[in-house]
């Protein structure tokens, strides 16, 4: 029996939908923005760099002249920026159909966020936690709404160590371990939030496989020409990398807690399908630890 591939043709009509995408100006966020716009949605582009966001918007408008795009400044390494963004959104919009928590950083040097977190856990998890909690009321009162968190294959190597959440000058640091922890956190957050929300809103996750984005710009191994060549053989385009997140956002047959990734070997590349995350990501104990730490460190909680 021939396997049916999920493609952009399966997205369906999104007219009347309002979608927020973090990191919408580049990589898979840019491609998702284009696809959602192409299918009639209004897309709010949450971006740190407004100049790059404007360039991305103009690029999409060339291909999709009817695109309804709104740029809003959002810096996920700053709770103040997230708070300002959320206040504007909550004031101006009565519905949010989809929140796609897409933005992220990968294997960056050891630095603090504005609020003193190690930057990868700070941006990839705590920034999106703060954003999601700040928008939760309007999301959960929008019928058939969804929250989608972009995780990574790297979550399989992740461990949760709350003592590493805060930045400490002079501390030994593994960029790879910090990234894997942040991606595990994305999944722990997904499953715990779905448990708390119940059937009001679907909370899902997706990962892009290995995609040709600028996320890997800090990977030391990619400074070598041969490594770049090998990497190029196994990765996929930004467009293909965006499809798992787009499927999680729009698939009518999806259920809360579903996790989507590429259908190819080791989930590195391919068309999106439902995949499994590690046992660790389903640990109720770890989910509770992360949730309690997130509530304590952000001051925000469900209800």
Of the given ranges (18-27, 90-99, 139-148, 214-223), which has the lowest mean pLDDT?
214-223
Which among 207, 230, 206 is positioned nearest to 219, based on CA atoms? 230
Q: Is residue 95 part of a domain?
A: yes
Give the count of domains, the chain.
1
**What confidence tier does 3 reach under pLDDT thresholds 50, 70, 90?**
confident
pLDDT classification of 303: cutoffs 50, 70, 90: confident
Q: Is 179 a catalytic residue?
A: yes
Pair of tokens at residue 236? 């996929």
| CA–CA distance, 201 with 183 (Å, rounded to integer) | 22
| 258 located within any domain | yes
Residue 269 covered by a domain: yes
> Mean pLDDT score of the chain, rounded to an integer?
93
Query: Is residue 289 in a domain?
Result: yes
State the catalytic residue, choosing from 179, 191, 224, 239.
179
**Does 7 reside within a domain?**
no
- Separation CA 225–CA 228 (nearest Å): 5
pLDDT level of residue 216 (50, 70, 90 thresholds)? very low
Q: Quick check: is 165 in a domain?
A: yes
DSSP reduced 3-state for 116? coil
Task: Report percent pLDDT > 90 for the chain.
Answer: 89
Six token digits for residue 45: 């582009």
CATH number, domain with residue 289: 3.40.50.720
Q: Answer whether residue 8 is part of any domain.
A: no
Q: Is there a domain that residue 186 lies in? A: yes
DSSP state letter for 284: H
Report pLDDT digits (tens) over 235-290: 899 999 999 999 999 999 999 999 999 999 999 999 999 999 999 999 999 999 99
Please give the residue range of the domain that contains residue 276.
13-298
Residue 232 has pLDDT above 60, yes or no: no
- Written as six digits, the tokens of 194 are 């779905």
Dihedral over alpha carbons 281, 80, 17, 192 (to 10 degrees): 20
């Amino acid at each position: 029996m021939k396997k049916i591939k999920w493609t952009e043709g399966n997205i369906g009509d999104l007219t009347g939908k309002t979608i927020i995408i973090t990191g919408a100006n580049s990589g898979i966020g840019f491609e998702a923005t284009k696809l959602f716009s192409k299918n009639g949605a209004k897309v709010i582009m949450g971006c740190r760099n407004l100049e790059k966001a404007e360039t991305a918007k103009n690029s999409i408008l060339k291909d999709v002249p009817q695109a309804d795009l709104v740029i809003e400044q959002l810096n996920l390494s700053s709770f103040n920026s997230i708070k300002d963004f959320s206040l504007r959104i909550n004031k101006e919009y009565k519905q949010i159909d989809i929140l796609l928590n897409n933005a992220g950083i990968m294997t960056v040097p050891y630095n603090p966020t504005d609020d003193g977190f190690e930057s990868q856990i700070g941006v990839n998890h705590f920034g999106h936690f703060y954003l999601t909690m700040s928008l939760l009321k309007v999301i959960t009162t929008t019928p058939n709404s969804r929250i989608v968190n972009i995780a990574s294959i790297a979550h399989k190597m992740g461990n949760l160590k709350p003592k590493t959440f805060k930045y400490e000058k002079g501390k030994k640091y593994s960029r790879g371990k910090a990234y894997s922890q942040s991606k595990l956190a994305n999944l722990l957050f997904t499953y715990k939030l779905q448990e708390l929300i119940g059937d009001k809103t679907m909370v899902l996750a997706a990962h892009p496989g290995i995609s040709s984005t600028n996320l890997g710009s800090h990977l030391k191994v990619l400074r070598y020409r041969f490594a770049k060549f090998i990497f190029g053989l196994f990765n996929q385009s930004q467009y293909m990398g965006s499809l798992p997140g787009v499927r999680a956002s729009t698939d009518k047959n999806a259920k809360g807690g579903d996790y989507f990734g590429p259908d190819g070997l080791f989930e590195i590349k391919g068309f999106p399908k439902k995949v499994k995350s590690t046992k660790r990501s389903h640990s109720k104990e770890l989910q509770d630890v992360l949730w309690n730490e997130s509530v304590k460190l952000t001051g925000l909680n469900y209800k």
